[in-house]
Structure 1
Amino acid sequence: MKRVVITGAGTINALGRGVPDTLEAMREGRCGIGELEFRDVERLAIRIGGQIKGYVPEDTFNRQQLALYDRFTQFALISAREAIGQSGLSFSNGLAERTGVVFGTSGGGLNTQDENYRSVYEEGKNRVHPFVVPKLMNNAAASHVSMEFDLKGPTFTVATACASSNHAMGLAFQMVRSGACPAMITGGTESMLCFGGVKAWEGLRVMSRDACRPFSANRNGMVQGEGAGVFVFEDYDYARARGAEILAEVVGFAMTSDASDIVMPSKQGAARAITGALADAGIDAGEVGYINAHGTGTAANDKTECAAVADAMGQQADRLMISSTKAMHGHCIGGTGAVELLACIMALRDGIVAPTIGYEEPDAECALDVVPNEAREAEVGVALSNAFAFGGLNAVLALRKAG
């Protein structure tokens, strides 16, 4: 089995356009959640979100490209360019033939769907653009990244709601570890912040009208975000041979199904995913210093996740740090695990643990060290990234400090 390392990272989200800006915001505990700005927002009960403000697609893409690129695809391409650029990877000497793209997304081209439903049903138009289907399909982002960089290896999209990008990155990890691919471009992307996207989530009654407060006793729901995170996963020996900078090592992955309820989380299913990731990595619970939590800010998720961590980590649960960055950038749904993996890399590489901002009142059912409100300097050797999705689908990644 090959060792797998991360040699490039890219992102665009409510905290920043790029990894340096995002990590600076996480260190400062900055909140990227604010008033939503799009058509018909006044018809919504929920009017806040982690929206990427001031983003002008025409500054990056031409008219022909925008006819094919939904907002979620644009975010993926921007992030992939940054990640591949940082990695210094050149897809020559047959490498492109064996390198692929695995992305996670839940809604795909939801902005395109929203615009065209409005055009047909509200405005009464009888025709839509001929590229609507290739623009809105879930695999569009992965396909366009593969085309831009001429990557001809395994390329596909995973859609498992809020665990999509963790599942995608886990599968990419397994491909590189097995030797099937020397490198993979992986992560997730999502842009659900449009009228229909928010209105649908309103119906679930799990949304906050004012703020995301993970683990705080007065939490009152999640807040949607948007954005992408993209990474270069690479064979360790190949990366070392070409002198690449290694950001972190991916050492374990596990996925489970609760098989119990379509929306309510299960402590047992989440705990099995955590212990499975540790077992896959050959890591003892005592080695874990930080967990980036799913931490949505809903009553059900946060207490269930804390109980799962306590069960899986045993006596070690009291000494590790666990935080949710969703209070800063919002819940990016299918792309959220990819954006949050940056916090794991920051903890391992820079020794800075991102905080859980918005924390106001202790909750006896969330009695772990949630790194409240301020980032913390700490030596972290191993970090976990949790993702627990509607449908009872769980995915946990284990990362180790480069060395």
Structure 2
Amino acid sequence: MSNLAQKRILLGITGGIAAYKSIELIRLLTKAGADVQVVLTDGAKAFVTEMTLQAISGHPVRSTLLDPNAEAGMGHIELAKWADLIVIAPASADFMARYAQGMANDLLSTLCLATESPVLLAPAMNQAMWKHPATQANAKLLTERGILNIGPADGAQACGDIGPGRMSEPGDIFNTIMTHFDKAQVKQDLADQHWVITAGPTMEAIDPVRFISNHSSGKMGYALATAAMARGATVTLISGPVQITAPAGAKIIAVKSADEMLAACEQSMITQADVFIGAAAVADFKMKAANDQKMKKQSDTDEITLTLVKNPDIIATLAQQKRAKTLVGFAAETQNVIEYAKSKLERKGLDIIIANDVSRADIGFNQDDNQVTVITKDKTWSPDKTTKNALAEQLVEFIQQQTQS
């Protein structure tokens, strides 16, 4: 049975072109057994109709605060008490500003102030609006007050701009809602711990338009962050460039190069972290000196020589500095996987190393499944092949057991 069975979810829809995506979100929620009621702002009515939303949710749609029929029984207070979770998707810049200031001048904002249930925002707006200091300040304030958040995603927008501001996809919002309710069923034994996790590739500039990188998708690192947070950990996720949605609730630090990733790790662990997991695929080399201008193709030669130098060894540096009580590394290898992983464990001073064979097409970079071998100084464990999300839960459990032994 789904963990959403009989969960009561109030879906608020604000004005924005992304409102059409909320129809699919309602479908996913109701299919999973959730009871969904919809509240529209006046602006949202320009993008979706009450008749469509009523047909999909199975409930009349509410949009008016001063509805004599509903308010005869203090309907907005009853709705606020009814919901197990309030989801605002899309959450416009205007709504976030009013919510941050504690305004209650329509039904949706009133519900959010009157509820004692968790609230999840899925922001959606033009990329310039999202980047504006006022919006960023409002988003930060809401997060500090305990409001949950997913997105926004980065990409092409309806106005033609490209950048952060797209509403997260309905499937991603649905998964975040599932994770939220999962937490109520998962032990919260990491509630007093700080985990720092790196994920994705690094990107080392050759010139302003070219770079050295790899095929890492970041999925494993993001799954580990989600699994640790589900058990109550405070998670700092330091991520190279990826195309996946960050888990709601994590502190995200976006970086590009190995130097930037190391600096972010050191800054995040000024106070010693409980656990560090180096899941990122860090480039071993970078340009000795990146070119300031685009390198031009030379007509008199078919070859070019690039002078590379070693990147900092992030996890070895952190181990030497004792930045975390428990250090966990990854060894992505294409041959002699276990042998190389054991050597890396000892050479870099790690507590745990997780080895995986990235030459396999079914579990390599960009795949949803994975199979690894977990190695410590005195034991080796090889869980069965499974999804990266399921594997992450097993790995978090193993790491926690090791920290207690």
Q: Which structure has the larger Rg?
A: 2
By relative contact order (CA 8 Å, sep 6+), the higher-ranking structure is 1
TM-score by length of 2: 0.28
- Is the strand fraction higher in 1 or 2? 2
TM-score by length of 1: 0.28
